[in-house]
Chains A and B, each alone.
Chain A
Amino acid sequence: MQLSTKHLLGIRDLKSSDIQLILDTASQFKEVLQRPIKKVPTLRDVTIVNLFFENSTRTRISFELAEKRLSADTINFTASASSVSKGESLLDTVNNILSMKVDMVVMRHSASGAPHFLAKHIPAAIVNAGDGINEHPTQALLDAFSISEKLGTLQGKKIAIIGDIMHSRVALSNIYLLKKMGAEVTVAGPPTLIPKYMKDAFDINVEYDLKKVLEWCDVANVLRIQLERQNQVLFSSLREYSLAYGVNKKLLDSLNKEIIIMHPGPINRGVELDSDVADSKQSIILQQVENGVAVRMAVLYLLAGGGANQN
């Protein structure tokens, strides 16, 4: 099996067979990461540039580690320390980098669709590491990998995505992926943070009552309240949000089952997730981070031409 796509722009463009291939490949890379020497020579002839036009800790370190563990050469680019601040256009910036013989581009940008635009104009393979409020495909893939590692499969599992659905690229990528892999999805949060079209557009449930959705689900993926994208008043205060939609230990203990708690990070502790939940046994937040490296290795390996043709 090989991927049916040249770029990873979003989960939306992937087939379910592509998703399965990435997850299967990731479990082999997870084994590599347990070895005494956690590195394979697979991509030693590949050069990858990490273009980060927006801040990131986890994703950036994770991609860089994934590249290094595949023996690829890497270049890091941060918008603030570059000629972008002198007014150079995105296409010019990237073309200049590519003329130095770069094979792949990992890109984060605050404008939705920026990687799609680049994919039309440059020959290198592009991996979207988050574009505006559109998609964050590798996060959804690592979430899916972590869920199936814990529950065996995604098929028929009940996943709740809780919080700021409207501004969240993690939510959108997760919804595309989970629906393609046969899971049931409910989004929950304040009505002001859930777009009206969601229910029909994606064939998912919408719930405004936190307790009800927690009672329904096997896994709760709690999203971060994106303070940097809130320029209108969508809820009155963080304290009010936390009272109505903050997941705490008392709430989880009142359920008659043990659900899995996930969070893409960074956590606003005490807002969407209390510390005693984030650090509890039910939480797989740090496993998500660990799996992130293996999943990103799988994506880079497959986009670079790994896997077998069907013949």
Chain B
Amino acid sequence: MKTILNEQQLAITIQRLSNQLLENHLSLTDTVLIGIQPRGIYFSDRIVKEIAKQVAPENIRYGKLDITFYRDDVRKGLHTLNKTDIPFSIENKKVVLIDDVLYTGRTIRAALDALLDFGRPEKVELCILIDRRFSRQLPIQADYTGRSIDSIISQKVKVYWKEKDGKDEVELF
């Protein structure tokens, strides 16, 4: 086991990603943020909390997306449903999808399909905490990356969050 990010590094990384997001989307007028269920939302919650320090809360549109119905392995008994909550239109908006780990790219493929059922966004970007590069099975890349790591299939990346797991840390097994 190896620690990729400790508590302090994780906090700094989230700060940096939030600033990069704001750099490109300034006052968030045409931008919406969407966290991917189930574990992406802990990360997106933090990003939103960080952004709220610099942008008025009423300008932040933040939703949660469950992509189970769009997965290519939906009927294999692998996925539990979670709540989808997107209480605004994404038509002609810039959408930033937020997830914790980018691995094969299949989750993001499903998320893109799911997203299009809510409208036609002007643009979709992807913000990722950990990018397991060189393990993609689909041509998908992140626009904002917390940390890129090299890993092999037998390894696992686990992101811990205080509100769920009692500590803030990213580990590689």
Contact B77 A36 (CB under 8 A): no
Which residues in chain B, 81-100, are within 8 Å of chain A measured between CB atoms? 81-85
**Cα(A1)–Cα(B75), bound, Å:** 12
Which residues of chain A come closer than 8 Å to B118, judged between CB atoms? 35-37
Most chain B beta-carbon contacts within 10 A, residue among A2, A35, A39: A35
**Cα(A32)–Cα(B81), bound, Å:** 12
Secondary structure type dominating chain B contacts = loop
**Cα(A2)–Cα(B83), bound, Å:** 17
Contact B81 A40 (CB under 8 A): no
Contact B83 A41 (CB under 8 A): no
Which residues of chain A come closer than 8 Å to B76, judged between CB atoms? 305
Known: A1-B80, A39-B117. A32 touches B69 (CB 8 A): yes
> Is B70 an interface residue when CB atoms closer than 8 A count as contact?
yes
**Cα(A308)–Cα(B81), bound, Å:** 9
Task: Report A292-308 CB contacts with B as 1/0, cut-off 8 Å.
Answer: 00000000010011111
**Cα(A24)–Cα(B82), bound, Å:** 10
**Cα(A24)–Cα(B69), bound, Å:** 15
> Is B113 an interface residue when CB atoms closer than 8 A count as contact?
yes
Contact B117 A307 (CB under 8 A): no
Contact A40 B83 (CB under 8 A): no
> Is A42 an interface residue when CB atoms closer than 8 A count as contact?
yes
Q: Closest chain B residue to A71 by CB distance?
A: B69
Among B66, B81, B85, B113, contact of A41 (Cβ-Cβ < 8 Å): B113
Which residues of chain B come closer than 8 Å to A2, judged between CB atoms? 77
Which residues of chain A come closer than 8 Å to B167, judged between CB atoms? none
Shortest distance in angstroms between B118's beta carbon and chain A's nearest beta carbon?
6
Task: Report A271-311 CB contacts with B as 1/0, cut-off 8 Å.
Answer: 00000000000000000000000000000010011111100
Count, chain B residues at interface, CB 8 A: 21
> Is A31 an interface residue when CB atoms closer than 8 A count as contact?
yes
> Is B136 an interface residue when CB atoms closer than 8 A count as contact?
no
Which residues of chain B come closer than 8 Å to A309, judged between CB atoms? 77-78
Secondary structure type dominating chain A contacts = loop
Known: A41-B113, A304-B75, A305-B75. A25 touches B69 (CB 8 A): no
Contact A41 B77 (CB under 8 A): no
Contact A41 B75 (CB under 8 A): no
Shortest distance in angstroms between B143's beta carbon and chain A's nearest beta carbon?
25
**Cα(A56)–Cα(B148), bound, Å:** 58
Among B66, B75, B84, contact of A306 (Cβ-Cβ < 8 Å): B75
Most chain B beta-carbon contacts within 10 A, residue among A32, A36, A304: A36
> Is A28 an interface residue when CB atoms closer than 8 A count as contact?
yes
Known: A32-B69, A40-B70, A42-B69. A308 touches B80 (CB 8 A): yes
Q: Closest chain B residue to A311 by CB distance?
A: B77
Among B75, B83, B116, contact of A28 (Cβ-Cβ < 8 Å): B83
Shortest distance in angstroms between A220's beta carbon and chain B's nearest beta carbon?
31
> Is B119 an interface residue when CB atoms closer than 8 A count as contact?
yes
> Is B74 an interface residue when CB atoms closer than 8 A count as contact?
yes
> Is B49 an interface residue when CB atoms closer than 8 A count as contact?
no
Among B74, B78, B119, contact of A42 (Cβ-Cβ < 8 Å): B74
Known: A37-B117, A305-B77, A306-B75. A31 touches B83 (CB 8 A): yes
Which residues of chain A come closer than 8 Å to B83, judged between CB atoms? 28, 31
> Is B25 an interface residue when CB atoms closer than 8 A count as contact?
no
Q: List 8 A-B contacts (CB under 8 A).
A: A28-B84, A31-B84, A36-B118, A37-B117, A40-B70, A42-B75, A308-B77, A309-B77
Residues of A near any B CB (own CB < 8 A): 1-2, 24-25, 28, 31-32, 35-37, 39-42, 301, 304-309
